[in-house]
Chains A and B, each alone.
Chain A
Amino acid sequence: MRLERLPIAVLRTRYVPGGWDVLAFLLVFAFFVYCAQAAHGLTGSLSRLEAIPISLDPSALFGYSARTALRMLIAMVASLLFTFTYATLAAKSHRAEIILVPLLDFLQSVPILTFSITILFFLQLTPGRVAGAELASIFLIFTSQAWNMAFSFYHSLRSIPDELIEAARNFQLNPWMRFWRLEVPFAMPALIWNMMMSMSGGWFFVTVSEAISVGHTTVTLPGVGSYIALAIEQKNLGAIGWAIAAMLIVILAFDQLLFRPLIASADWFRLEQEAGFTASHTWALTMMRRSRLLRFMASGFHAMLRAGIKPVAVWGAAPPRPPSLWRSRQLDYLWYAVLILIGLAALWKTTLFVLGEVRPAEIGQVLLYGLFTLIRVAVLIALASLIWVPIGVWVGLRPRVASIAQPIAQFMAAFPANLFFPFVFSAIVLFKLSPDIWLSPLMILGTQWYILFNVIVGASAIAPDLRYASENLGVHGWLWWRRVALPAVFPFYVTGAITASGGSWNASIVAEVASWGNETLTAHGLGAYISQATGAGDFQRSVLGTVVLSLFVVVLNRTFWRPLYARAERKFRIS
Chain B
Amino acid sequence: MNATPALNLAPLLDVQGVCKSFRKPDGDQLVVLEQVNLKLRPGEIVGLLGRSGSGKSTLLRQIAGLDTPTSGVVNYLGHPVLAPASGIAMVFQGFALFPWLTVLENVQLGLEAQGVAEDEMRKRSLQAIDLIGLDGFESAYPRELSGGMRQRVGFARALVVHPNILLMDEPFSALDVLTAETLRGDFLNLWGEGQLPIKAVLLVTHNIEEAVQMCDRLMIFSINPGRVIGEISVDLPQPRHAQDPRVRALIDRVYVEMTARPRGEVRTGPKERFPGTGIGTVLTHVSSNVLTGLIEAVSAPPYNGKADLPVIAEEQHLEVDELFPAAEALQLLRLAEVEGGDIRLTDAGLEFARGETDERKKLFARHLITYVPLAAHVRRVLDERASHTAPRSRFFDELEDYMAEDAAEQTLRTIVSWGRYAEAFAYDDHAQVFSLENPA
Q: How far is the CB of A405 from chain B (nearest CB, A)?
A: 27
Assembly CA distance A166 to B154 (angstroms): 13
Contact B143 A273 (CB under 8 A): yes
Contact A5 B138 (CB under 8 A): yes
Interface size class of B (residues with CB under 8 A): 35 or more
With a 10 A CB-CB cut-off, give which of B95, B96, B110, B136 has the most chain A CB atoms: B96
Contact A272 B143 (CB under 8 A): yes
Contact A173 B113 (CB under 8 A): yes
Q: A166-B66, A185-B100, A316-B65 are in contact. Are A309 and B113 (CB under 8 A)?
A: yes
Assembly CA distance A315 to B96 (angstroms): 24
The chain A residue with its CB closest to the CB of B154 is A167
Q: Per-residue 0/1 for B55-75: is the Cβ within 8 Å of any A Cβ (1 yes, 0 no)? A: 000000100111000000000
Contact B102 A316 (CB under 8 A): no
Q: Does A313 contact B (CB under 8 A)?
A: yes
The chain B residue with its CB closest to the CB of A271 is B99
Contact B430 A316 (CB under 8 A): no
Q: A171-B110, A181-B98 are in contact. Are A316 and B88 (CB under 8 A)?
A: yes
The chain B residue with its CB closest to the CB of A170 is B90
Q: Does B86 contact A (CB under 8 A)?
A: yes
Q: Does B353 contact A (CB under 8 A)?
A: no
Assembly CA distance A565 to B425 (angstroms): 30
Q: Does A169 contact B (CB under 8 A)?
A: yes
B62-115 interface (Cβ within 8 A of A): 64-66, 76-77, 79-90, 92-102, 104-105, 109-110, 112-115
Q: Per-residue 0/1 for A30-51: is the Cβ within 8 Å of any B Cβ (1 yes, 0 no)? A: 0000000000000000000000
A170-187 interface (Cβ within 8 A of B): 170-174, 177, 181-182, 185
Q: A7-B102, A10-B122 are in contact. Are A170 and B139 (CB under 8 A)?
A: no
Assembly CA distance A468 to B64 (angstroms): 47
Q: Does A319 contact B (CB under 8 A)?
A: yes
Contact A167 B96 (CB under 8 A): yes
Q: Does B383 contact A (CB under 8 A)?
A: no
Q: Does B141 contact A (CB under 8 A)?
A: yes
Assembly CA distance A318 to B80 (angstroms): 8
Q: Does A341 contact B (CB under 8 A)?
A: no
Q: How far is the CB of A550 from chain B (nearest CB, A)?
A: 34
Q: A171-B110, A182-B98, A185-B100 are in contact. Are A163 and B92 (CB under 8 A)?
A: yes
Q: How far is the CB of B164 from chain A (nearest CB, A)?
A: 10
Contact B109 A166 (CB under 8 A): no
Q: Which of B90, B96, B118, B143 has a CB less than 8 Å from the CB of A164?
A: B96
Assembly CA distance A170 to B87 (angstroms): 10
Residues of B near A173 (CB, < 8 A) are: 109, 113
Q: A9-B105, A268-B99 are in contact. Are A309 and B112 (CB under 8 A)?
A: yes
Q: Does B219 contact A (CB under 8 A)?
A: no
Q: How far is the CB of B60 from chain A (nearest CB, A)?
A: 10
Assembly CA distance A188 to B98 (angstroms): 13
Q: Does A386 contact B (CB under 8 A)?
A: no
Q: Which of B89, B98, B114, B126 has a CB less than 8 Å from the CB of A312?
A: B114
Contact A319 B79 (CB under 8 A): no
Residues of A near B95 (CB, < 8 A) are: 163
Q: Does A420 contact B (CB under 8 A)?
A: no
Q: Does B161 contact A (CB under 8 A)?
A: yes
- Tally of A interface residues using CB under 8 Å: 42
Assembly CA distance A48 to B13 (angstroms): 76
Q: Does A92 contact B (CB under 8 A)?
A: no
With a 10 A CB-CB cut-off, give which of B79, B83, B94, B143 has the most chain A CB atoms: B83
Residues of B near A163 (CB, < 8 A) are: 92-96
Contact B86 A314 (CB under 8 A): yes
Q: Which of A10, A171, A271, A315 has a CB less than 8 Å from the CB of B161?
A: A171
Residues of A near B81 (CB, < 8 A) are: 316
Q: Does B437 contact A (CB under 8 A)?
A: no
Contact A1 B138 (CB under 8 A): yes
Q: Does B398 contact A (CB under 8 A)?
A: no
Assembly CA distance A28 to B110 (angstroms): 35
Q: Does A310 contact B (CB under 8 A)?
A: yes
Contact A170 B114 (CB under 8 A): no
Residues of B near A171 (CB, < 8 A) are: 84, 89, 109-110, 113, 157, 161
Contact B113 A6 (CB under 8 A): no
A152-168 interface (Cβ within 8 A of B): 161, 163-164, 166-167
Contact A6 B138 (CB under 8 A): yes
Q: Does B272 contact A (CB under 8 A)?
A: no
Q: Does A317 contact B (CB under 8 A)?
A: yes
Contact A316 B101 (CB under 8 A): no
Q: How far is the CB of B15 from chain A (nearest CB, A)?
A: 14
Q: How far is the CB of A173 from chain B (nearest CB, A)?
A: 5
Residues of B near A94 (CB, < 8 A) are: none
Q: Does A259 contact B (CB under 8 A)?
A: no
Q: A167-B92, A171-B109, A571-B430 are in contact. Are A311 and B114 (CB under 8 A)?
A: yes
The 30 sampled A-B contact pairs (Cβ below 8 Å) are A1-B138, A5-B139, A7-B102, A7-B139, A10-B104, A161-B94, A163-B92, A164-B98, A166-B66, A166-B90, A166-B92, A166-B96, A167-B98, A169-B84, A170-B84, A170-B88, A172-B84, A172-B86, A268-B100, A268-B141, A272-B99, A273-B143, A306-B112, A312-B115, A315-B76, A316-B80, A316-B86, A317-B79, A318-B82, A319-B83
6 A-B pairs with least C-beta separation: A316-B85, A311-B115, A171-B110, A167-B96, A318-B82, A163-B96
Q: A170-B84, A268-B99, A312-B113 are in contact. List 18 more A-B contacts (CB 8 A).
A: A163-B92, A163-B93, A166-B92, A166-B96, A167-B96, A169-B65, A268-B100, A269-B99, A272-B99, A272-B143, A309-B112, A312-B114, A316-B82, A316-B84, A316-B87, A318-B83, A319-B82, A319-B83
Query: What residues make up the interface of B, taking CB atoms closer than 8 Å to A?
Result: 61, 64-66, 76-77, 79-90, 92-102, 104-105, 109-110, 112-115, 118, 122, 126, 135-136, 138-139, 141, 143, 157, 161, 430
